[in-house]
A = this chain, B = another copy of it.
Amino acid sequence: VKNAHDEELSSVESVLDLIRSSGGRSTGSRRALLEVLFDSGEHRTAEELARAVKLRAPDVHLSTVYRNLEELEQLGVIVHNHLGHGPVTYQLVTRTHAHLLCENCGVRLEAPPSMFRALVASARKNFDFEVDPRHFAISGLCANCRRERDEGARPAE
């Protein structure tokens, strides 16, 4: 779980350098995966990433994508997130942030780090625990679904 510095994570080439310097090899499938990760939006599943990789390198197999994602995660280049109930999603560590996820409709809101300041401080103080709010989404109910629920709970609809 080694910590890579930000400048090492700024481009496809710099990450390939990082891979080489840790004893790995710079291969076509790794380059293609990194290009996709740097190009694409957030929270892509392994399947989505593999589909995009195949556009650049048609022979790259899904299992190779999984293996490379694991390698990149160990190097600290990407993280995976558990959002909702679907498959795991991946993204560059330099682009992570916390999320609010509606349990009911699945809508996802990006939460600013400031929102977690008190929680981070409290966990540190009370449990000596360093909270990283980016790995799992914070679940709850969005405004719409809360309204729906409250209306549904009215005595006589």
Which residues of A does B touch, CB under 8 Å? Answer: 1-3, 82, 100, 102-104, 109, 111-112, 114-119, 122-123, 126-133, 135-143, 146, 149, 152-153
Contact = CB atoms under 8 A, between A and B. Distances in A.
Secondary structure at the A interface, as helix, strand, loop or mixed, is: mixed
Contacts of A114: 122
Contact of A119 (B3, B82, B102, B118): B118
Contacts of A153: 2-3
A109 to B, nearest CB: 6
Nearest to A145: B1
Nearest to A117: B118
Contact of A136 (B3, B112, B139): B139
